[in-house]
Structure 1
């Protein structure tokens, strides 16, 4: 059945089946054995996803994607997220997810043909270079230290970035740099002699293709047509990407939380302690109940925010506010669910032979990237208090 003719529930169900049959068997190599998600494996999985009609839930139909709206994505990405590498397999993982959305909104026709089309089809990977070593930009984009100087025929970029996800092996990088009058986004081909990808930073999570890298721009010349959008409007454009990207993370990680919840429930039903199944102990039941509450609440928030984005646009104030609330709650709810799953597993829960142990470790960064919980709470409070000042 062609992907375009399938309803979102059908696609979600097919995604669950695809992940269970094609992704789970290789997941342990990545999650437990420490193998990097290389491009050979990525292409294999994405080829299988395409054959199953579940590839490209975030990509436009014009580029071979499923063309789902945000509400439809919610159930599909939760299904994909039941494996740490499921979102990669279906083409819905960071940073490509946000870059596809950004390019679809901002790219000129030639830029779309050169960058968006192969990215949306899964033929290449991309990265986005924003975060910088101290004292450069982190959560505060106003601290941006990378600069782009106007020169004859284009721009010359200088600066250092880190935590540039996917940079090792990417086809291009979207570089965010300070320019006269504001911040600007530039499309930089990875073979540009002024761009150097350094080491993969040794982070807790291991599943991102291309790792999280240090990147430097040294007299990196790009032509005028490398500007994405308009000069000086980079931070404004970042909002186009931000709310959908935050929500995509929430959808994917919620899928992993639901899987860990099921795994731990199955374990305690089949394990006995003090003469009865662990599942009959009240304390264990409390953990199960709290996990169920967190998952149902998180799912409702995701769908509510998806509705706001679909109806009011990703750059609306309502979408930004809703995405901040959802990302804060879901990132912490996922952490609570995974932590309880480890607890219910008992001693084996902290053994890295068990998937739940790696799930917990890999999920820790979710409370930091795309906006730390503390920064998001600050921005949420500011918006709320604005009406009372």
Structure 2
């Protein structure tokens, strides 16, 4: 997998990390794709994840975007490394760069107190725990989704503790997580709290079967009743939850783009190999214009996605919040990757819809990616509002 992006001063170091990650994913992780250790939702079990992480730790590629001294690669550097972890749907799990953990580590590293970093962040960076981010709420109750201001989960101060009540939905990784970041609204506004999991006050009501199957713990509906959280477990200050959500979400959207870009690179490799080997009507499929053109369009979409990721990462590296830029990247990249995954299935015909290769899984995962971290339409609506604000400012 080649990447010719100019990544600046840390280029040599980043390429060395990325090359080690790619070798590990291709040689060690890919064989695990046929491993039967899956739950009834077809997601990898914690046993499987733990085994892969042990091998990643031994190979020196566990949490590769966070260095031994605790410093973090730049977003442009992170992009190159996370793209390599994404070459297998299991790669981010094995290398500890998967959602929601990667985004949660980023947030705690930026905002967490020393105590929170020692108690909660360290176990995540070490790959010893999974985490969950409790923000989205059930649509049936008209709770927070793409519009977090609709949050219904409440928090109130009681002595030296906060008491939290509410319900959450589509909480990725909640089942089996050891660290939770819970968002709730109080008199000062929305706040975030760190909690140890499991906790008897947090009950998993339902884990639905979903189109994707790459994230352990699924996407649970959760009830929170009389959860008591020590005041020192609040992240930052009261009422700053929405600000912290933006700190997390802009890079997290981009990280999804990075990882699934890698998956589509691999899917395209598999489809191209098939097209160059399979014979039909007297010649290989690649020599049929309809197939060859689909693979050519894949190359174009992959390059455009790569450049969009790098551009957005460069904006975030300036220290800008990057909300609009991450929205543009999320839309452009997720839609491009959907086209790529669809073409890969089409090129491979019947083979493309079987589990004999990862192509059909990549198709399913990318379809889900177009929804989570904000559906395409919500990001377009947000960008349209920005266009209107900018227009008014010029009048």
**TM-score grouping bracket, smaller chain normalisation:** over 0.9
The 2-side partners of 1:263 and 1:52 are apart by: 26
Matching of residue 157 in structure 1 with residue 171 in structure 2: no
* Contact 2:38-2:45 within 8 A present in 1 as well: no
Matching of residue 101 in structure 1 with residue 86 in structure 2: no
* Contact 1:127-1:173 within 8 A present in 2 as well: yes
- Residue of structure 2 aligned with 1:335, choices 316, 321, 338: 338
How do 1:267-278 and structure 2 match up within 5 A?
267-278=274-285
Matching of residue 368 in structure 1 with residue 371 in structure 2: yes
The 2-side partners of 1:359 and 1:5 are apart by: 29
Matching of residue 15 in structure 1 with residue 30 in structure 2: no
Aligned to 1:292: 299
Q: Normalized against structure 1, the TM-score is what? A: 0.93
- SS, match of residue 69 in structure 2: helix
Matching of residue 208 in structure 1 with residue 218 in structure 2: no
Aligned to 2:72: 67
1:198, distance to aligned residue in structure 2 (A): 2.9
How do 1:31-110 and structure 2 match up within 5 A?
35-63=42-70, 67-110=72-115
Question: Structure 1, unaligned stretches of length 5 or more?
Answer: none
The 1-side partners of 2:281 and 2:200 are apart by: 66
Matching of residue 380 in structure 1 with residue 380 in structure 2: no
The 2-side partners of 1:79 and 1:30 are apart by: 24
The 2-side partners of 1:29 and 1:67 are apart by: 32
Cα distance change on mapping 1:360 and 1:174 into 2, 3 Å:
same
Q: Normalized against structure 2, the TM-score is what? A: 0.92
1:181, distance to aligned residue in structure 2 (A): 2.3
1:35, distance to aligned residue in structure 2 (A): 4.4
The 2-side partners of 1:146 and 1:351 are apart by: 42
Aligned to 1:308: 315
Aligned to 1:116: 121
The 2-side partners of 1:357 and 1:208 are apart by: 16
The 2-side partners of 1:54 and 1:264 are apart by: 28
- SS, match of residue 118 in structure 1: helix
Cα distance change on mapping 1:336 and 1:159 into 2, 3 Å:
same
Matching of residue 24 in structure 1 with residue 48 in structure 2: no
Moved more, 287-296 or 375-384: 375-384
Cα distance change on mapping 1:268 and 1:13 into 2, 3 Å:
same
1:32, distance to aligned residue in structure 2 (A): 9.4
After superposition, the C-alpha distances for 1:65-119 in whole angstroms (9 at most, x for unaligned) are: x732111111111111010010111110111111101101111111111001111
1:335, distance to aligned residue in structure 2 (A): 0.8
Aligned to 2:134: 129
* Contact 1:32-1:353 within 8 A present in 2 as well: no
Aligned to 1:349: 352
The 2-side partners of 1:351 and 1:61 are apart by: 41
Aligned to 2:245: 238
Aligned to 2:200: 193
* Contact 1:126-1:172 within 8 A present in 2 as well: yes
1:48, distance to aligned residue in structure 2 (A): 1.3
Aligned to 1:279: 286
Matching of residue 142 in structure 1 with residue 149 in structure 2: yes
* Contact 1:242-1:370 within 8 A present in 2 as well: yes
